[in-house]
Amino acid sequence: MLFFLLLVLQGNAHAQIDPAHCRYPLGMEDGRIKDDDITASSQWYETTGPQYARLNREEGDGAWCPAGLLQPSDVQFLQLDLRQLTFITVVGTQGRHAHGTGNEFARMYRLDYSRDGETWKSWKNRLGNKIMEANDNAYASVIKDLHPPIIARYLRLIPVTKLPTTVCMRMELYGCPWHDGLTGYSSPEGQVMAAPGYPISNLNDSTYDGYHERRKLFGGLGQLTDGVIGQDDFLLTRQYHVWPGYDYVGWRNESLGPGYVEMEFVFDRPRNFTSMKVHCNNMFSRGVKIFSEVSCAFKPRLVADWEPQQAVFRTVLDDRNPSARYVTVPLGRRAAKALRCRFWFADAWMMFSEISFQSADTVIPTLVPPLMTTSCPKLETAIPTQRMETTAASKDPAEDGSTSILIGCLVTIILLLVLIIFLILWCQYVCKVLEKAPRRILEEEMDPPYERVFLLDPQYQDPSVLRHKLPELSQSAESSGCGGGYAEPDVTQCTPHQCFQSSVPHYAETDIVNLQGVTGSNMYAVPALTVDSLTRKDISVAEFPRHRLIFREKLGEGQFGEVHLCEAEGLAEFLGEGAPLPERDGKPVLVAVKQLRADATNNARNDFLKEIKIMSRLNDPNIIQLLCVCVSSDPLCMVTEYMENGDLNMFLSQREIESTLTHANNIPSVSLSDLLHMSVQISSGMRYLASLNFVHRDLATRNCLLDRRLTIKIADFGMSRNLYSSDYYRIQGRAVLPIRWMAWESILLGKFTTASDVWAFGVTLWEIFTLCKEQPYSLLSDEQVIENTGEFFRNQGRQIFLSAPPLCPPSLFELMMRCWSRDIRDRPTFDRLHQALRPHASQ
């Protein structure tokens, strides 16, 4: 029991801030931010004072309005005091509607923030822009994500205008308390890594908001506290339009001298530290490792000497697993207001993407066993409404105080335990239900618990709207005779409920459970295939001796497997004449090896074999080729061609369109005819799949691979990589759906056909001609994309289409639009698409 408790509390104490979930309204709308804490540089009247700046509220004259006309040079602001350091991730703004009598709003704004109320800094996004787009009407609220997030206690909202105008604003902030309490860190500046054959990676702290002097950073926070953790390969980034290495701050041993990196951390008040977690890269193949040792000194006050006794922690170095990881450094429950840590190099480079601190800011009497000293303050984070006011009591050394805390802790822990047991039981029950009735998940889980509170379009403010949307759709579909519009025989004359139960496999029915299968890819759907029918003789490729695969590098990772880059000794001879291998001129053959984890579930195993069977039947110059397998023993492996130029998304996003400028500056570029040639190849590969009645289900640039000669091959490794996780919509962490590429009928009815692949092809074309610089519908949240799908279904002209990319010839955009026809019969076939694209390419 106690052991269990320990585990739970450990898990709790290790919780880092997760920007994806730190999105709670901070209290403008519901009044938790008091009137006194809302001030402004000026107000037009009493009735448009700062206290009326609450989102969705109509008190006073309905909003805050600064005095007079706002001039382009004016700095008028609304200031909030959040009373504690807060991690702010989202800002919502709205104009003055006043029940229809007001019509003032701000088209743009910027933000200033302060942690101490004295030093103010201006927020900038990751590309350095300060201005955010705001409202274009007086009633709708506009929600903007802050990348990077802001850590501050005070915030100023500053309306910005191009022409003199009256502005009025209402607002809400979203985020969560900043329990780390860190107000600044200092470190040597991050460095640039350049090695032949690799992109140059600048490992600087690009969002640092403090000072930068003599190669040192001090007095601010930045990438190490932005909640974004880096990937296994530090060259890959989680943001768009940034340079390789962006997520990490890195240093080279040689250039620093002493063999360590020294960082200082300053906190808002004295805290009793449990641990520090440092997220480090460990890509040893490129000379990067976690630190070998760290020693931390403590200072109880800012003006004091470092205490002589240090906390020293030696790590266990790992030369086998190149994954990035969190290293937890115990800090021995020492109290301090500042920390100085020296991280010793274990290799040529050290790279961090995130540092967090676990601490209590109360002094807890020694009577309490150590386990609880860490747990009590953490409980406070878990149940904000039951705040435990231990501060006052703990300052009082009296026995009474400590006993009551002890009892309080115990009671809370017991309550928590009961809650956890209940949750586990409930979870088990729900999981069973989910497996049995997948359709219900789609309806009920599409609105995540609190994101829906504010991420919906204000027109649909009722949070239940998303839940009601599908039934409502069902009714209208029913009355129009479901599927009346499309050609497929399997869905005519049925209600959507029956449609869900039809024999066509789709996410809702089959894949919610095993979509993540194997390495998360299960994309070739073959209705007739059953697992029982799978035997070794169905697999028409040869078994390769496992020991002749030599591991070189990890390419990707999924829930049930990994993809490795390997050398395959003697593969050419093994496959014999006419093998589809690139010529390597005597160099070893490189292959991609997808491997199922030994502990994968039976479902995953079956999916893996199923995928092998399907892939072994595919043979087309534009489809990735399965070369051989290792299935006679565990772990199961499939070996495919290795595509040197990676995926099309990565390839294009690092390039510009060819021009004299790119030539002059040696910027990597592609020409319009390259893009057309790529489109033709994809349509050709898809035409082949369609001819076999294969439905891909996840066509997108991330799933098209490029070899050395820029031949495109359609593949499916996409879901096995974390890189593109934002392209997928998660239903309670179980299923991942590429909703931005999916046809309306796939999202709403779970129907996947070649015609829905055509839809995805349209989106893929759009990506190609935007050079993958933007995610489709990047301005819409996932919920809004689903909302938009409903509009596609209703077809009343309110659906939002992707807009024509500037590079794209008009006739080509027309073709894209045809792919997004509501009616399946109006969409072109891949044959037609191929024919239509070919002449473009040869121009």
Ligand X SMILES: *[C@@H]1O[C@H](CO)[C@@H](O)[C@H](O)[C@H]1NC(C)=O
Closest residue by Cα to residue 700 from 723, 682, 680, 673: 682
Nearer to ligand X, 183 or 204 (CB): 204
Give residue for tokens 């500056």: 665
Minimal distance, residue 186 CB to ligand X, in Å = 15
Residue 356, classed as helix, strand or coil, is strand
Query: Could you tell me how many residues make up the chain?
Result: 843
Least distance in angstroms from the C-beta of 510 to ligand X: 45
Q: Which is nearer to ligand X, 348 or 618 (CB)?
A: 348
In angstroms, the CA 822 to CA 796 distance is 11
Q: How far apart are the first and last CA of the chain?
A: 73
Could you tell me how many residues of this chain bind ligand X (CB under 6 A)?
A: 17
| CB distance 224 to 265 below 8 Å | no
Q: Are strands 735-737 and 637-641 parallel, antiparallel or unpaired?
A: unpaired
Residue with smaller CB distance to ligand X, 379 or 637: 379
716 is catalytic: no
Residue 777 binds ligand X (CB under 6 A): no
711-722 core/surface letters (b: 16 or more CB in 10 A; e: else): bbbbbbbbbbbe
Question: Is residue 121 a contact residue for ligand X (CB under 6 A)?
Answer: no
CB of 111 to ligand X, least distance (A): 19
CA distances from 681 to 24, 372, 615, 706 (A): 46, 62, 19, 11
Long-range contacts at 624-627 (CB < 8 A, ≥ 24 apart) = 624/705, 624/713, 624/714, 624/715, 624/716, 625/580, 625/713, 626/541, 627/541, 627/544, 627/568, 627/571, 627/575, 627/579, 627/580, 627/581, 627/591
CB of 395 to ligand X, least distance (A): 10
C-alpha span between 185 and 607 (Å, rounded): 48
Specify the DSSP class assigned to residue 246: T
Options 339-347, 396-404, 497-505, 816-824: segment touching ligand X (CB under 6 A): 339-347
- Please say which residue, 341 or 837, places its beta carbon nearer to ligand X: 341
- Using the rule CB under 6 A, is 694 a contact of ligand X? no
CA distance 314 to 293: 4
- Give least dist CB 617 to ligand X, A: 46
The interface with ligand X within residues 264-293 (CB under 6 A) comprises: 272
| Region near ligand X per CB under 6 A, out of 87-95, 340-348, 584-592, 781-789 | 340-348
Check whether the bond before 148 is cis (ω within 30° of 0).
yes
Collect all residues with Cβ–Cβ distance below 8 Å to 55 and sequence separation of at least 6: 28, 29, 92, 93, 94, 141, 170, 171, 172
SS3 231: coil
Of the candidates 94, 253, 282, 358, which one interacts with ligand X according to CB under 6 A?
253
Q: Work out whether 625 is an interface residue with ligand X (CB under 6 A).
A: no
Q: Which of 268, 447, 607, 698 is catalytic?
A: 698
Candidates 345-353, 435-443, 462-470, 719-727 — which segment interacts with ligand X by CB under 6 A? 345-353
Q: Which is nearer to ligand X, 335 or 534 (CB)?
A: 335
User: Does position 259 bind ligand X by CB under 6 A?
Assistant: yes
User: Residues near 394 by Cβ (< 8 Å), separated by ≥ 6?
Assistant: 362, 363, 364, 365, 401, 402, 405
Q: Rounded to the nearest whole angstrom, what is the least distance from the CB of residue 401 to ligand X in the complex?
A: 14
CB 367 to ligand X: min, Å: 9
Among 333, 554, 730, 734, binds ligand X (CB under 6 A): 333
Q: Does 373 bind ligand X (CB under 6 A)?
A: yes
- Tell the residue number behind the tokens 């390789």, with chain if given: 244
Tokens of 573: 């001879």
The pairing of beta strand 656-657 with beta strand 669-670 = parallel
Half-sphere exposure (Cβ direction) of 130: Cα atoms closer than 13 Å: 12
Closest CA to 749 of 482, 544, 556: 482
Q: Which of 335, 417, 494, 841 binds ligand X (CB under 6 A)?
A: 335
CB of 372 to ligand X, least distance (A): 9
410: tokens are 């115990």
Cβ proximity to ligand X, 346 vs 355, nearer residue:
346
HSE at residue 138, side-chain half, CA atoms within 13 A, is 18
Q: Which is nearer to ligand X, 363 or 529 (CB)?
A: 363
* Interface residue with ligand X, options 22, 364, 393, 837 (CB under 6 A): 364
Is residue 764 within 8 Å of residue 680, measured between CB atoms? no
Cα four-point dihedral sign 10, 13, 17, 23: positive
Q: Which of 370, 463, 570, 580 binds ligand X (CB under 6 A)?
A: 370
Q: Are 623 and 704 in contact (CB under 8 A)?
A: no
323, two tokens: 């994954």
Q: By CB under 6 A, what part of segment 184-213 binds ligand X?
A: 202, 204, 206
When binding is defined by CB under 6 A, the residue of 347, 562, 727, 757 that contacts ligand X is 347
Task: Say which residue the tokens 């050709």 belong to.
Answer: 684
Q: Are strands 192-193 and 201-202 parallel, antiparallel or unpaired?
A: antiparallel
| Minimum gap (Å) between residue 257 Cβ and ligand X | 6
Q: For 274, how many CA atoms within 13 A lie in the half-sphere containing its CB?
A: 26
Part of the chain binding ligand X (CB under 6 A), chosen from 230-238, 311-319, 359-367, 796-804:
359-367
Segment near ligand X (CB under 6 A), from 358-366, 402-410, 700-708, 731-739?
Answer: 358-366
| 366 touches ligand X by CB under 6 A | yes
Q: To the nearest whole angstrom, how small is the minimum distance from the Cβ of residue 570 to ligand X?
A: 37
Rounded-to-integer distance, Cα 772 and Cα 765, Å: 10
* Shortest CB 222 distance to ligand X, Å: 9
Which residues from 226-245 bind ligand X, rule CB under 6 A?
Answer: 243
**Residue at shortest CB range from ligand X:** 335
259: left (phi over 0), alpha (psi -120 to 50) or beta: left
Nearer to ligand X, 243 or 306 (CB): 243
561-568 sheet: strands from edge to edge: 549-557, 561-568, 589-596, 637-641, 626-630
Compute the distance between CA of residue 265 and CA of residue 181 in angstroms, rounded to an integer: 10
Given the rule CB under 6 A, which of 361-369, 480-488, 578-586, 791-799 is the region that contacts ligand X?
361-369
**Would you name the residues annotated as active-site residues?**
698
**List of residues contacting ligand X (CB under 6 A):** 202, 204, 206, 243, 253, 259, 272, 333, 335, 345-347, 363-364, 366, 370, 373
